[in-house]
Amino acid sequence: MPPIILPKIDFTREFAFSDQEFERIRQLIYKEAGIALNPTKKDMVYGRLVRRIRELKLNSFAAYIDFLQSIAGKREFEQFVNALTTNLTFFFREEHHFQILAAHLKTLAGKGEINIWCAASSTGEEPYSIAIAALEALGSGSRIRIQATDLDTSVLEVGRKGIYSADKISRLPAGHAARYFDKLPDGNYQAKAQLREMITFSRLNLVDASWAQRKQFDAIFCRNVMIYFDRDTQLAVLKKFHPLLKAHGLLFVGHSENFYFAADYFTLRGKTVYELAKARA
C-alpha cells in the first residue's frame, strides 16, 4: 500500500511578528492601560492586532507600531486598546456579591440618593445586574444612580443600548427577564427604560493620573480587571478609590483578586468585598 501523502500546510503568518515588536506592544499597552501582558501572549496579540493592520492597509507590525506612536495614529490608539482588552462578563456574575449589595443597600433606604460606581462595566451586564439588584432590594421609588465606566469605547456603546441575545438573558434569575427586559422583534432583548435611565456610561482609564470622578459612592465594583495590573498599579488605583468611597461604603473585587498589601486603605470584609480600613476611614 503506497504511503499516504498529506497536503502540505503553510503555517507561515501573514505578517512577520518579532519578539522585539511584541515587546514594544507590551510596553505601549502597559503605559496606556496598565495591562501587564504575559510574555506567553504573543500569539493572542498577533491574532487581535492583525485585523487592525489589514484594516489600515499597512504591510507590517513595525509599520503599525510606528503609526500608533505618530500624530496621525492618535485615534488608532483607542482601537489598539479595544483590541487588547478582555471583556468576559455575564449577568449576575459572582452572584454572592449581589446578595451582599442588596443587604448593604437596605441599610441605606430612606437616606437620600444612592450612588454606585461600576468601574469596569464592559458590555453592560454588570451595571444592569447592579441596577436590578438595587430595584429588587429597595423598589422603584428609591433614587439610585449608577456610573458605569470602561476603557473600551466599543463595549460602552453596547451597554448604552442595553440589547442582549436570548442566550445572555437566559442567565438572569427566574422572572427577571420579563420584569426588566423587552423582547425585540429580532429575538434579542433590551433593558427597559427604567433600567437604562439609572445608568450613565462613560469612558475612564483607571491608570490615568487623575479621574473625572468627584462624588463619593456607596459601593464601588471593580471586578476582574486589576488582575491584569502589576502590584504597583493596583495599589495606585486602590489609593484613588479610597477617597471616593463613603465611610460605610463597600468595594467589590474579582474572585481571584486579593489586596492584602493595601491594608492601610482597605480591609477585607469577606468574600472578596472590602471596606475602608478603620484607621483611615
Q: Which amino acids are annotated catalytic?
A: 48, 150
From the CB of residue 50, how many other CB atoms can be counted at a distance below 10 Å?
17
Beta strands of the chain (E only): which ranges? 114-118, 144-150, 163-164, 181-183, 189-191, 199-203, 217-222, 245-253, 266-268, 273-276
Q: Can you say whether the dihedral through the CA atoms of 124, 125, 130, 134 is positive or negative?
A: positive
Question: Distance (Å, rounded) from C-alpha 214 to C-alpha 217?
Answer: 10
Question: Distance (Å, rounded) from C-alpha 94 to C-alpha 44?
Answer: 26
Q: Within 13 A of 13's CA, how many CA atoms are on the CB side?
A: 14
Integer distance in angstroms from the first to the last C-alpha of the chain?
A: 81
Q: Using alpha carbons only, what angle is made at residue 84 by residues 150 and 38, rounded to the nearest 5 degrees? A: 115
From the CB of residue 274, how many other CB atoms can be counted at a distance below 10 Å?
24
What does the block give as the cell for 149? 465606566
Q: What is the DSSP letter of 260?
A: G
**Residue pointed to by grid coordinates 443597600:** 105
What does the block give as the cell for 58? 499597512
Q: Are 36 and 229 in contact (CB under 8 A)?
A: yes
